[in-house]
Amino acid sequence: MSIAELRASSPSIIMIGSHPGVIQSMLDYDFMIGRAEPSVIAVIVQGRKLERYFWGTDEVIIPAVPMLSDLKKELADKCTVAVNVQSARRVLSSTKEAVAKLPNLKLISIFAEQTPETHSLELRTLAIKKNVLIVGPSSVGVLLPGTMKIGAIGGTQYPQLVEAKIAKAGKVAVISTSGGMVNELIHIATGSGQGVSFAIALGGDRFPVTDPMTAMLLAQNDELTERIIYFGELGGTDEYEIARLIDEGKLTKPIIAYVAGVVAELFDTPPQFGHAKALAQTDDESATAKKDRLRKSGVIVCDHLGEIADKLDNGDTTMSKEQNVPGIGERKKRAIISHISGDKDGEVQLLGHELLETIERNSIASLVLSLLLGKQVESKRAIDFTDLVLRMLVDHGPYVSGAVNTIITARAGRDLVSGLTAGLLTIGPRFGGAINEASRGWVDGATSGVSAKEFVDSYVKQGGIIAGIGHKKYRIDMPDPRVEALMQFSGNSNGDRYLKFARSVEEITTTKKGNLILNIDGAIGAVMLDILESELGYKPDELRELADIEFFNALFVLSRSIGFTAHYLDQRRNDEGLFRLDTDDVRYIA
């Protein structure tokens, strides 16, 4: 991997774990350098489906999935960079998974501290084998000015990013074992007028995946880099290896170095500083010894940080110190986000267009389906099926529990909303909620590879009822005409795989009892699944999500609300007074 290759690529970043401050700073950098869209394309995190961040003063939505395996293929293929902010115990497994499942991955930055050394060594072998630049553990990231900011490097607040003058690439590479010091060195480089070609925080572990020597060679081979600033610490022998590369002619660019930790030499027993590597166990690992070795190889070694700026001032300062970047005004996070409707310049917007324009182009069925799915639907087949379902579910008589509750509430003299609500509150697993459960069952059964018999047996073992199967009146030899009407919408391009699975379940259940047929709820769910997949491109995971949010039940609720309202108005017209059961309607058991 080379810096030129990273610089030439347009970064598409996946966050492994969520760190809002880091993510926002990366998006702020994208906005600052004029990128058209955010570089962060997904977040792997449990418990949510999206995360909201600012893009300038507007808001953007970043999709979130619980596991990397749940990521859509197009996003996995698009990803070139990953930032791993998970805990140290999960770094090895999650990084290996990212390398395996993200085919175009070029760079991974690992944020966690205290990663086991054996894990770091294993990741170093993996990085070489797969030609992926893995930085860390304990790294605040990588900066390629004008191209990408990976991690917290450069700052986490927008004013810090502007003040750092990192919108454009310069001439000085910054390589640091310390995440805290890398930003200081960036400011020194940009303050000199020469700017930063790239900056990398290697992390202070004993065995960073990318070691200082590798980073030096990246700078040596980078055509934009003319000079190198290096920050090292006591402990380890990296500086001796850097000197060897210089002596062998593999490093020829000027290096300005600072090695921290001279104060440790005042103690009788070597003290452990903040980083795992910052412990001089021998005289050769002391800061003084390493500084002397670097000087022998021609490195400009500074005894205090202020000298670095003095040494850089001797270089070319033709790069402008002023970098024009957009300002950001007041930010306000919205309380609600909506894909359905809103306001634009005082006009009501519905599904992305002005209200009148939207209603003129939609029938009630297409408007219902589009609103429920949160996007405009154009498929005539999907709209026609929705229309049939809405008409078919509107009312099934005054005998069902929901209608009875509405009727009783109306006769009690309550208002329309109370009557409608009383009916709606009865909808659940025993009344009206079966479409949703049936749909979830058909998706799981048809995509899991289980046979219809195995599917049925799993319900039998649990003592459960299969949603979408069974009817009080209709039987296998006397089919439900409503189900037959729904069958006109079979013959979808996916081979009707959900309807076929439902029918295969019916073949098993009707051998046990003749009335265990595919009922109207099961048929609506199966056909709607086939249409959504065939006509609108929904994938199985997306269909499961629709079941999770009760999309299929929404069709019943909307349609039956009309029936409940009709029953309410009918009772108010009749005005028979308070409903009361006769004494012979109740059997009292003392």
Structure tokens belonging to residue 146: 């004008």
Cα–Cα distance measured from residue 223 to residue 218, given in angstroms and rounded to the nearest whole number? 10
373, two tokens: 């799915």
Same domain, 11 and 82: yes
Structure tokens belonging to residue 462? 């649990």
d(CA 543, CA 562): 27
Query: Which residues are paired to 51 by β-bridges?
Result: 62
pLDDT at 276: 56
Question: CA 341 to CA 347: how far, in whole Å?
Answer: 11
The reply to whether 212 and 296 lie within a common domain is: yes
Q: Give how far Cα 197 sits from Cα of 28, 65, 154, 231, Å.
A: 20, 34, 13, 16
Q: Answer whether residue 71 is part of any domain.
A: yes
State whether 300 and 375 are in the same domain.
no
d(CA 57, CA 55): 6
Q: What angle do CA 234, 236, 242 make, to 5 degrees?
A: 95
User: Is the C-alpha dihedral spanning 235, 229, 217, 124 positive or negative?
Assistant: positive
∠ Cα 283 287 291 (to 5°): 105
In a domain, 8, yes or no: yes
Cβ atoms of 143 and 149 closer than 8 Å? yes
Indicate left, alpha or beta for 333 from its phi (over 0: left) and psi (-120 to 50: alpha): beta
Specify the length of the chain in residues: 590
Whether 92 maps to a domain, the answer reads yes
Cα of first residue to Cα of last residue in the chain, in angstroms, is 84
Output the pLDDT for position 180: 85
Q: Which domain holds residue 227?
A: 169-322
Q: Shortest CA distance to 225 belongs to which of 180, 184, 166, 173?
A: 173
The secondary structure of 221-270 as a DSSP string is T-TT--EEEEEEESSSSHHHHHHHHHHTTS--S-EEEEEE-GGGGGSSSP
Residue 74 is inside which H or E element, if any? helix 73-78
User: Both 312 and 443 in a single domain?
Assistant: no
Considering the domain architecture, whether residues 416 and 553 belong to the same structural domain is answered as: yes
DSSP per-residue letters across 495-516: -SHHHHHHHHHHHHHTTT-TT-
| H or E segment to which residue 295 belongs | helix 287-296
Domain count, the chain: 3
> What does the pLDDT look like over 153-168, one tens digit per residue?
999 999 999 999 999 9
d(CA 164, CA 186): 7
Residue 343 inside a domain? The answer is no
Q: Are residues 281 and 408 in the same domain?
A: no
* 41-59 exposure pattern, b = at least 16 Cβ within 10 A, e = fewer: bbbbbeeeeebebbbbeee
- Residue 106 CB neighbours (<10 A): 18
Question: Is there a single domain that holds both residue 373 and residue 502?
Answer: yes
Give pLDDT, residue 314.
66
Other Cβ atoms closer than 10 A to 338: 9
Cis status, amide bond into 137, omega within 30 of 0: yes
Same domain, 363 and 505: yes
In order along its 590 residues, the chain shows pLDDT tens digits of: 799 999 998 899 999 999 999 999 999 999 999 999 999 999 999 999 999 999 999 999 999 999 999 999 999 999 999 999 999 999 999 999 999 999 999 999 999 988 998 999 999 999 999 999 999 999 999 999 999 999 999 999 999 999 999 999 999 999 999 888 999 999 999 998 999 999 999 988 788 999 999 999 999 999 999 999 999 988 788 999 999 999 999 999 999 999 987 766 667 676 656 655 655 566 777 888 999 999 999 999 999 888 999 888 766 666 655 567 888 888 888 888 888 999 988 899 999 999 999 999 999 999 999 999 999 999 999 999 999 999 999 999 999 999 999 999 999 999 999 999 999 999 987 888 899 999 999 999 999 999 999 999 999 888 778 999 999 899 999 999 999 999 999 999 999 999 999 999 999 999 999 999 999 999 999 999 999 999 999 999 899 999 999 999 999 999 999 999 999 999 999 999 999 999 999 999 98
One domain, residues 388 and 522? yes
What are the helix (H) ranges across 537-588?
540-548, 551-574
Q: Give the pTM.
A: 0.79
Q: What is the pLDDT of residue 131?
A: 94
Q: Are residues 285 and 388 both part of a single domain?
A: no
| Same domain (yes/no): 270, 128 | no
- The three-point CA angle 13-19-24 to 5° equals 65
We report the CATH number of the domain holding residue 195 as 3.40.50.261
Q: What is the pLDDT of residue 485?
A: 96
Last residue of a domain, one of 322, 340, 361: 322
Cα angle, residue 31 at apex, residues 7 and 49 outer, rounded to 5°: 95
> What CA–CA distance (Å, rounded) separates 395 from 361?
28
Q: Do the domain assignments include residue 456?
A: yes
CA distances from 484 to 341, 487, 523, 527 (A): 37, 5, 9, 12
- At residue 31, the pLDDT reads 96
274 falls within a domain: yes
Answer whether residue 146 is part of any domain: no
- Does residue 338 lie in a domain region? no
Residue 206 confidence (pLDDT) = 80
Provide the annotated active-site residues: 275
Same domain, 257 and 367: no
- CB 409 within 8 Å of CB 396: no
Q: How far apart are CA 393 and CA 450, in angstroms?
A: 31
Instruction: Please report the pLDDT score of residue 207 as a whole number.
Output: 82
Tokens at residue 6, please? 């990273």
